[in-house]
Structure 1
């Protein structure tokens, strides 16, 4: 069920700006038990919403790792998003008009500060399991470092402790595509849409990789009028434009690049050493954004953590596709059972 939390208090931002108030859209599934010890908090990725059952198929179901009959599952829409939390298309109270490009810059730590504010408002103390994949993993690892005593178990899927030059370069290429659209910057909800479509097409190349495309986008005839891979890119760009906006996408890409759990904490190793949660990391064999080697290196930095790997041809998007493999790994871990570490 979707809910909305409203705070009339100013919300300070790490880079020096401030939001005069804050709105957070969030979903919950299941019921909080009497001991208040069955909370599972899911941090979502770039363009997802707070409805985990919508964007993560076959996970919020009985018998799955996000089982609403066992857990009280919470997912909050991230700061800057298009799906109900304060972002560029919402009205700036100071002007009476949408923020658009004037929305103040924010960071992954600001996203986590909003999550923490919501958790306090919901009366949630200890979180039994904090789950994050991709940009959601950025939020999860940041939260586990910031409040180690609050998180009992931590699941990090296809993510990192710091935005790498490679991931920043991917983001910058997408920003360049948006900026090349002459309408971007205009005070309109549909500004920058052609640029957004191009940015999404660029992003998809890194989400799926060669194996995924070669498996699913082969032409069915010898000389087609339009290549299947070409129409797929066009379709995916148009699909995102129907549900999202260029200002939110651009702002969140900027926030992505700020991610560094070691900033102001003595470096990445020192920051990750603060994590007290029992931690499980999941890599994907063909992920070219957060490679298995990088995920294994991250596992070695987190005390007592364990590593598992999903075998998938679908690259970074494998965490959205390979729900059976993911359930086999995550469900026993979240239920406190021993797991077979395939480190």
Structure 2
């Protein structure tokens, strides 16, 4: 069941803007033990929510790396999201109307500061393991640099320490698709819907990559004029529009592009050297968003880190699909004191 934490004070953003109020939606699984040393925090990606069981199948289960019988698993919905934490569809107390496109710009560091506020409110000091995949990994690496003594173990899956020009270009292309929708900017929840569908279709090309599409979307001889790849793109765009909104998607993409753990810290190399957590880096063999080569570079820059790789035909989305491989890698790292 989703829960809410209301900060009760203005929340100053890194961009210089201020949110008059901050609400954070979150889920927990299991129980925080008496020693308060069994917390495992999951940072979610893009359009996911705080309910890890919903978007990350076969992870929050007995015997898995997120085991509620052993751990207190926490996931907080990110700032700007559609799923409960303060975002563009929330009412601006200063105007009495939803923010929509006027929601102030924010950064990955703002997302992490919101996580930290929630962790404090929940009485979590030391975090046993901090887990982040994709842009959830952006948050996780930023948190490990910001509060190195708080994080005992760090699992970074298909992610990076800085948004690359490639990933920023992909995000900008999606924003262009949303901006091309003439309804984007109108004061209604479903504004920019067609643009959002197109943006999602663009994003999916990078999430799955050619191997994933060629494996699953081949046409049949019986219907030569019906292209499975075409209907798949249309379906995925419509599917997101049924559960998300263009204003949150646009704002979050912009926040992702601010990711740079080295900003104001002497560069990425100096920032990553601050990490004290025992760190596991997981790459995906066919990922074209965060390539295995980039993941190995991240491994080389983080002290005491190890590198493992998932073999998958599903590209970046392999972290959502290859749950057996992922559990084999993450379960001993999180649960075995000797690892």
Name the TM tier (shorter chain). Answer: over 0.9
CA distance in 2: counterparts of 1:210 and 1:140, whole angstroms: 28
Equivalent position SS for 1:148: coil
For residues 211-270 of structure 1, the C-alpha deviation after alignment (integer angstroms, 9 at most, x for no partner) is 000000011225434200000000000000000000000000000000000000000000
Paired residues for 1:106-117 under 5 Å: 106-117=106-117
Partner of 1:57: 57
Q: How many residues get paired?
A: 339
Report whether the alignment pairs 1:258 with 2:242: no
Paired residues for 1:108-187 under 5 Å: 108-187=108-187
Partner of 2:310: 310
Partner of 1:6: 6
Partner of 1:68: 68
In the alignment, structure 2 segments of 5+ residues that lack a partner are: none
Equivalent position SS for 1:295: helix
Which 10-residue stretch deviates more, 290-299 or 214-223?
214-223
Normalising to structure 1: TM-score of the pair?
A: 0.98
Partner of 2:242: 242
CA distance in 1: counterparts of 2:262 and 2:288, whole angstroms: 23
Partner of 2:269: 269
Equivalent position SS for 2:105: coil
Equivalent position SS for 2:149: helix
CA distance in 1: counterparts of 2:7 and 2:277, whole angstroms: 29
Normalising to structure 2: TM-score of the pair?
A: 0.99
Report whether the alignment pairs 1:229 with 2:232: no
Equivalent position SS for 2:28: strand
Partner of 1:202: 202
Partner of 1:37: 37
Equivalent position SS for 2:215: helix
Change in Cα spacing, 1:319 to 1:162, as seen in structure 2 (3 Å) is same
Equivalent position SS for 1:136: helix
Paired residues for 1:294-305 under 5 Å: 294-305=294-305
* C-alpha displacement of 1:125: 0.3
CA distance in 2: counterparts of 1:236 and 1:176, whole angstroms: 18
Partner of 2:279: 279
Partner of 2:326: 326
CA distance in 1: counterparts of 2:288 and 2:277, whole angstroms: 27
Which 10-residue stretch deviates more, 162-171 or 328-337?
328-337
Equivalent position SS for 2:214: helix
For residues 294-324 of structure 1, the C-alpha deviation after alignment (integer angstroms, 9 at most, x for no partner) is 0000000000100000000000000000000
CA distance in 2: counterparts of 1:226 and 1:259, whole angstroms: 40
CA distance in 1: counterparts of 2:199 and 2:168, whole angstroms: 14
* C-alpha displacement of 1:338: 5.1
CA distance in 2: counterparts of 1:204 and 1:97, whole angstroms: 33
Equivalent position SS for 1:123: coil
Partner of 1:20: 20
Paired residues for 1:94-105 under 5 Å: 94-105=94-105
Report whether the alignment pairs 1:219 with 2:234: no
CA distance in 2: counterparts of 1:141 and 1:8, whole angstroms: 27
CA distance in 1: counterparts of 2:305 and 2:282, whole angstroms: 11
CA distance in 2: counterparts of 1:94 and 1:13, whole angstroms: 17
Which 10-residue stretch deviates more, 42-51 or 327-336?
327-336
CA distance in 1: counterparts of 2:327 and 2:336, whole angstroms: 14
* C-alpha displacement of 1:20: 0.3
CA distance in 2: counterparts of 1:131 and 1:68, whole angstroms: 15
CA distance in 2: counterparts of 1:336 and 1:65, whole angstroms: 10
Partner of 1:193: 193
CA distance in 2: counterparts of 1:171 and 1:337, whole angstroms: 39
